[in-house]
Structure 1
Amino acid sequence: MHALALLAACVTIVGAIMVITRRVAVHAVLYLVVTLLALATVLVMLGASFAAMLEIIIYAGAIMVLFVFVIMMLNLGQPDSAREKEWLRPRAWLGPGVLATIVCAELLYCTSPLSGAAPVPAAITVHDVGADLFGRYVLVVELVSYLLLAGLVSAFYIGRNRAGGR
């Protein structure tokens, strides 16, 4: 099980490095999804399956849809047809595909009864997460939501100014 945790951590690190080094925003988003899935795998191995599901649903799902929407809305750079041809090349999908396959295989192995993983005695429940998020961490949650909103408005404003200058 330690080897699987190290493999998931390595996938997370490689994915994060690829997010930073990609020049095309959509490729960076693909690697970010893989990185978030690898983090969810680490959470499953630690016994926090509910936190892992929140990671997948909120970050790898909803936030990534928001990022793709912003990228499409800004429409910076090349014309649409040239940009779409670049996105659809197999070379662009090979890295995220391989990393996602490794992460999915790990998740399937860890959640199968064949893995022999010992059950974690103290599981995190939905009530615990809700009580923490809307109890002592409510200010942090609200600040993060304002930060995301400010980032979206800033990206829209910067994109509009650049598009107007073309």
Structure 2
Amino acid sequence: MHILALTSACISILGAFMVITRRVAVHAVLYLVVTLLALACVLALLGAPFAAALEVIIYAGAIMVLFVFVIMMLNLGKPDRDRETEWLRPRAWVGPAALASILGMELLFGLRTLSGTGITFQITPREVGLSLFGPYVLMVELASFLLLTGLVTAFHIGRHWPGEH
């Protein structure tokens, strides 16, 4: 299991490096998704399955959808057709796909290893609700407020008034 954690950590570091070195925002978002999935694997291997699930659901899912939405809404740079053909080139997808497949193989190996030990992770929706709206209610509300602020700011920056260039 230590090898899996080290591999996930290395993928996370490599993905984070790729995020900050990409010039195209969508390519950076792809690497950021891989980085967040690798961090979720590290959390799961450290014995925090709930934190890993939240990492996947909230960050790799919802926040990435928000990032892609803002990138599409701002519509910066090239015309749509040129930008879409650049996004669909294989060189843009090979790196994230390779890192994600390594994480997928780790997941399959880890599940196969855990199935023989009899260890199960069982968190009920009631426990999630009690945690989120009990001691962590202020954190949940602050996070939602920050997301709303980011969305309003992106809309304000990206809007175009009629007659403007």
TM-score normalised per structure 2: 0.86
Q: What is the aligned partner in structure 2 of residue 14 from structure 1? A: 14
- Given residue 68 of structure 2, which amino acid in structure 1 is its aligned partner? V
Q: Note if 1:106 corresponds to 2:106.
A: yes
Unaligned runs of 5+ in 2: none
Q: Note if 1:97 corresponds to 2:114.
A: no
Cα offset, 1:49, TM superposition: 2.7
Q: Call closer, same or farther: CA 1:141–1:115 in 2, change over 3 Å.
A: same
Q: Call closer, same or farther: CA 1:162–1:21 in 2, change over 3 Å.
A: farther
Query: 1:47-105 CA distances to partner (integer Å, 9 max, x unpaired)?
Result: 33333233222222222222212211111110011111110111111111111111111
Aligned partners of 1:45, 1:116: CA distance in 2, in Å?
A: 16
* Contact persistence 1:11–1:35 (CA under 8 A): yes
Aligned partners of 2:141, 2:163: CA distance in 1, in Å?
A: 33
Q: What is the aligned partner in structure 2 of residue 148 from structure 1? A: 147
Q: What is the aligned partner in structure 2 of residue 125 from structure 1? A: 123
Cα offset, 1:4, TM superposition: 1.1
- Given residue 135 of structure 1, which amino acid in structure 2 is its aligned partner? G
* Contact persistence 1:19–1:28 (CA under 8 A): yes
Aligned partners of 2:19, 2:57: CA distance in 1, in Å?
A: 20
Which structure has the higher relative contact order (CA within 8 Å, separation 6+)? Answer: 1
TM-score normalised per structure 1: 0.86
* Contact persistence 1:74–1:159 (CA under 8 A): yes
Query: 1:99-131 CA distances to partner (integer Å, 9 max, x unpaired)?
Result: 1111111111111147866737xx573344432
Q: What is the aligned partner in structure 1 of residue 63 from structure 2? A: 63
Aligned partners of 2:118, 2:4: CA distance in 1, in Å?
A: 15
Query: 1:136-166 CA distances to partner (integer Å, 9 max, x unpaired)?
Result: 2211111111111111111111122699753
* Contact persistence 1:110–1:117 (CA under 8 A): no
* Contact persistence 1:133–1:141 (CA under 8 A): yes
Q: What is the aligned partner in structure 2 of residue 160 from structure 1? A: 159
Aligned partners of 2:60, 2:44: CA distance in 1, in Å?
A: 15
Once the two structures are overlaid, the 10-residue window that deviates more, 2-11 or 105-114, is 105-114
Percent identical pairs in the alignment equals 68
Q: Call closer, same or farther: CA 1:143–1:47 in 2, change over 3 Å.
A: same
Q: Call closer, same or farther: CA 1:79–1:163 in 2, change over 3 Å.
A: farther
* Contact persistence 1:20–1:28 (CA under 8 A): yes
The count of aligned residue pairs is 164
Unaligned runs of 5+ in 1: none
